[in-house]
Amino acid sequence: MSSQEFFYRYSCAMNIPLRNQPRVVIVGGGFGGLELAKALRDAPVQVVLIDKNNYHTFQPLLYQVATAGLEADSIAYPIRKIFKRQRNFHFRWGEVKEIDPAQNVLRASIGELTYDYLVIATGATTNYFGMEAIARHAMPMKTVTEALNLRSLILQNFEQALLTENVREQEALMTFAVVGGGPTGVELAGALCELKKHVLPNDYPELDFRKMRVLLIESGGEILQSMSEVNQVRAKKYLEELGCEVWLHSKVADYDGDAVQFQNGKMLYTKNLIWAAGIRGLYIAGLRPEAVDKRGRYLVNAYCQITGYERLYAIGDVACMITDKYPNGHPQVAPVAIQMAHTVAENIVRELKGLPPKMFVYRDRGSMATVGRNRAVVEAFQIRFGGFAGWFVWMALHLMLLVGFRNKVIVFINWLWNYMNYDRNIRLIIRPYFRNTR
Amino acid sequence: MSSQEFFYRYSCAMNIPLRNQPRVVIVGGGFGGLELAKALRDAPVQVVLIDKNNYHTFQPLLYQVATAGLEADSIAYPIRKIFKRQRNFHFRWGEVKEIDPAQNVLRASIGELTYDYLVIATGATTNYFGMEAIARHAMPMKTVTEALNLRSLILQNFEQALLTENVREQEALMTFAVVGGGPTGVELAGALCELKKHVLPNDYPELDFRKMRVLLIESGGEILQSMSEVNQVRAKKYLEELGCEVWLHSKVADYDGDAVQFQNGKMLYTKNLIWAAGIRGLYIAGLRPEAVDKRGRYLVNAYCQITGYERLYAIGDVACMITDKYPNGHPQVAPVAIQMAHTVAENIVRELKGLPPKMFVYRDRGSMATVGRNRAVVEAFQIRFGGFAGWFVWMALHLMLLVGFRNKVIVFINWLWNYMNYDRNIRLIIRPYFRNTR
């Protein structure tokens, strides 16, 4: 196809300059979106990335922001800065509301924009599975703002625990229930245990820290379901040694902000229910309903094209590609998003050259989760290990993956500091969090 | 006085433990409040510090948070952590609403508390001199939250400038007017000029940065009025070399969010009016009206006792002590607060020992202001200097004064990074700021 074909459809919307090149619009600056924009650096296309934040969030470390170990600003990175030398790149800060595939246009809070190729890389949000009371009262942890809210709530509840003379209320304020035994839940529960062991007792010498409980709540029969049994058992042991209560086969039925009701009839008083039990795709309105599965993901073919569309792609957490090996779609993790981004970038370039597209094949390089100080479980290249070696690998890999040298240095210094001093420094309630005002 | 006298009045409010010692309550964890609590470390008293934030703010660097040079978390420090080894110290997170001097009790958002000595160290807030429109539309910069709001607004307005096709609106979005030629205004204007010169053009290659204007607006005839003429002229020259327009004799009369009206009839279109033109004391309700001056400060005697009260003290920005040398009260700067804290601490101990109190004498160690990269003006011990030497002294002193080793390291690394790379990394809109929702 000649590039002339594309020209006439352009509008001046969003003040994106007119170019005599096809326009690739990417929605979302997560792992997938960024990688795709970078991969198109030398392609004969104009790249426009739209995100509702002006920064990329390094989600794997959000739990450390929530537990006062890292400043938010060290795991967020300004998107414009990443691309400041990429000539064919444009960023716009806005929220995409709707896609009109018939007209090749998307509608956002900041105006409309036509596209030649549209790649949806919006990722996922917390899934409450329709339980409204939980959505209202539990704390999610998928964005920087949510992690900061959680940090504020944890500290506020300790301040409150100091003041109350009601023992049950005090215990509820000091009880932290993390729902969801995936890596996020495991890492967060571990970090909360460390706060209990090393940090908070110094801040609140007037409180009896035997009253502080950390629970990891999982509806299934094991934690870290995607891992091998040896690591599942290991992670559970690590957590229990840290003082975490691991409740398996415990499905949450309801929560009113004070008490958790379980389906098995149990009850737990807590003012802190952290919901890491599931995610759903952040799909955008406008496409055929059949293109979206029940977990909010776009059904895509082996080229990441959304079912029934040609120049509409979805990658990462918001895509569901069903294969023999992954009958429920690929795992919703960063490496899938990054690898899908490469596939899409290559296929766009191939199409412009008149070549047939290549199929996506996921190369699983393993997974890992850290459990507090000195401990982690790692599975990579058929090897499974844990303990200090796992923890060291976990740290090194996360430092490597962080965007930006300054952020790497700041995170490294914080980790070194926290490790040597058994400390978490960022115990700041900068914007207090109150449930009613959400 | 025997310590038995104090005992009967205690209540269990705020769960402060009962001690057979006089209770000193300090309101405010700024420079003065912290210093006082520390100075009472070994005194035979119970110390209770109440603050509406759970952290101390290093206000001299707020302008660097607002201009994306430093993360907020590196200039804020958790108060509990500072005092974790001080046995006679208790912190409570709450806002004091009222003092009842007849009953020696203060009323806060978290309950009531009796005191034997009460020291008000609440500091100051922005003074709009009764101009409501300005209070509604201008941006203050006295707290961490306000600095973060300003950071968001600056970045949001550049994103907006990209989208508009209205030239006048675009210019208004890219015009930054800082009102007030004191050190805060000068330093902020300098930092904005650096953003214009080195940072923002990389982020927004599509914008014409000749349209970006930074103005420092001063109602009087010179900037840095507390300094010598040679440094006033020097600072003005530095600012103008950086591209800042310094408007003297320009008194702001009104602002509607779009246009500034001046008393001399001039007008300026800007969406960014930053108000650093004055402060007023954050006095608390409940005392005799005669004890408060028209700038919201408590009138205090030479011992920092509030006029007409004996065990009620005020220190720092919220105190006005009139002396021959300072007929309008002492300068509202950190060293005055710190030195007053020492006087009060000493006098409380002396009173408990039956000794007469000592008078406060301010030892002025000088003042300084930095103007962008490599430049500052310094006056200390009869010496006046500027340029690179001044800038170096400014940096070293601020690093020394920052609370906490971790914060010193993080700030130092950021400065080194920013200096070497002509960069400001924290260009994040983490919580967007919208005027209407304030």
Ranges of each domain in chain A: 4-52+94-126+279-352, 132-277+373-437
pTM of the model: 0.93
For the segment A372-424, what is each residue's pLDDT rounded down to a tens digit?
A: 888 999 988 778 888 888 888 898 889 988 888 888 888 998 898 888 888 88
Contact B15 A71 (CB under 8 A): no
Any A CB within 8 A of B17 CB: yes
Q: How confident is the model at residue B288 (pLDDT cuts 50, 70, 90)?
A: very high
**Residue environment code for A358-376, b if the CB has 16+ CB neighbours within 10 A, otherwise e:** eebebebeebbbbbbbebb
* Beta-carbon count within 10 A of A272 CB: 21
Q: Are B56 and B34 in contact (CB under 8 A)?
A: yes
Shortest distance between the Cα of A78 and any Cα of chain B, in A, equals 6
Shortest distance between the Cα of A376 and any Cα of chain B, in A, equals 26
For the segment B135-180, what is each residue's pLDDT rounded down to a tens digit?
A: 999 999 999 999 999 999 999 999 999 999 899 999 999 999 999 9
Which one of the listed residues A71, A146, A171, A187 is annotated catalytic? A187
Looking at domain B4-52+94-126+279-352, which of 3.40.50.2300, 1.10.10.10, 3.50.50.60, 3.30.70.100 is its CATH number? 3.50.50.60
Q: In the prediction, which pLDDT does B381 show? A: 75
Looking at the predicted structure, is the pLDDT value of residue A7 above 90?
no
A163 → closest Cβ in B15, B165, B404: B15
For the segment B170-228, what is each residue's pLDDT rounded down to a tens digit?
A: 999 999 999 999 999 999 999 999 999 999 999 999 999 999 999 999 999 999 998 99
Give the pLDDT mean for B274-294: 96
Any A CB within 8 A of B90 CB: yes
- For B381, residues 6+ apart whose C-beta sits below 8 A from its C-beta are B365, B366
Any B CB within 8 A of A163 CB: yes
Any B CB within 8 A of A428 CB: yes
Q: Which of residues 40-69 of A touch B (CB under 8 A)?
A: 53-55
Residue numbers in B near A112 (CB within 8 A):
none
Q: How confident is the model at residue A5 (pLDDT cuts 50, 70, 90)?
A: very low
Give the pLDDT mean for A238-255: 97
| CA–CA dist B295, B300 (Å, integer) | 14
Find, in chain B, the residue whose alpha carbon is nearest to that of A427.
B78
Which one of the listed residues B71, B146, B171, B187 is annotated catalytic? B187
Q: Which of residues 131-160 of B touch A (CB under 8 A)?
A: 144-145, 148, 155-156, 159
B376-380 vs B367-370, strand pairing mode: antiparallel
* Beta-carbon count within 10 A of A165 CB: 8
Looking at domain A132-277+373-437, which of 3.30.230.10, 3.30.70.260, 3.50.50.100, 3.90.950.20 is its CATH number? 3.50.50.100
Any A CB within 8 A of B72 CB: yes
Reported as type and span, the H/E element at residue A176 is: strand A175-179
How much is the ipTM here?
Answer: 0.91
Q: Which of residues 402-421 of B touch A (CB under 8 A)?
A: 404, 406-407, 409-410, 413-414, 417
Any B CB within 8 A of A165 CB: yes
Contact B406 A428 (CB under 8 A): no
At B405 the three-state DSSP class reads helix
Q: Are A6 and A21 in contact (CB under 8 A)?
A: yes
B84 → closest Cβ in A148, A202, A404: A202
Q: Which residue has the higher pLDDT, B423 or B234?
A: B234
Q: Which of residues 193-212 of B touch A (CB under 8 A)?
A: 202-206
Find, in chain A, the residue whose alpha carbon is nearest to that of B85.
A202
- Give CB contacts under 8 A, 24+ apart, made by B302-309: B302/B359, B302/B360, B303/B343, B303/B344, B303/B347, B303/B357, B303/B358, B303/B359, B303/B360, B304/B340, B304/B343, B304/B344, B304/B347, B304/B360, B306/B120, B309/B101
Q: Are A305 and A312 in contact (CB under 8 A)?
A: yes
The DSSP symbol for B285 reads: B
Q: Looking up tokens 């600003």, which residue turns up? A: A73
Find, in chain B, the residue whose alpha carbon is nearest to that of A83.
B203
Residue numbers in B near A84 (CB within 8 A):
202-203, 205
Q: How confident is the model at residue B101 (pLDDT cuts 50, 70, 90)?
A: very high
Find, in chain B, the residue whose alpha carbon is nearest to that of A409.
B413
Any B CB within 8 A of A427 CB: yes
A430 → closest Cβ in B76, B80, B426: B76
Any A CB within 8 A of B342 CB: no
B187 assigned to active site:
yes
> Reading across the β-sheet that carries B213-217, which strands appear in turn?
B244-247, B213-217, B175-179, B272-275
Mean pLDDT of chain B: 92
For the segment A298-324, what is each residue's pLDDT rounded down to a tens digit?
A: 999 999 999 999 999 999 999 999 999
Shortest distance between the Cα of B81 and any Cα of chain A, in A, equals 6
Q: In the prediction, which pLDDT does B418 show? A: 86
The answer to whether the A4-52+94-126+279-352 and A132-277+373-437 domains have the same CATH topology is yes
Q: In the prediction, which pLDDT does B6 show? A: 38
Give the pLDDT mean for A259-264: 96
Looking at the predicted structure, is the pLDDT value of residue A6 above 60?
no
For the segment B108-128, what is each residue's pLDDT rounded down to a tens digit?
A: 999 999 999 999 999 999 999
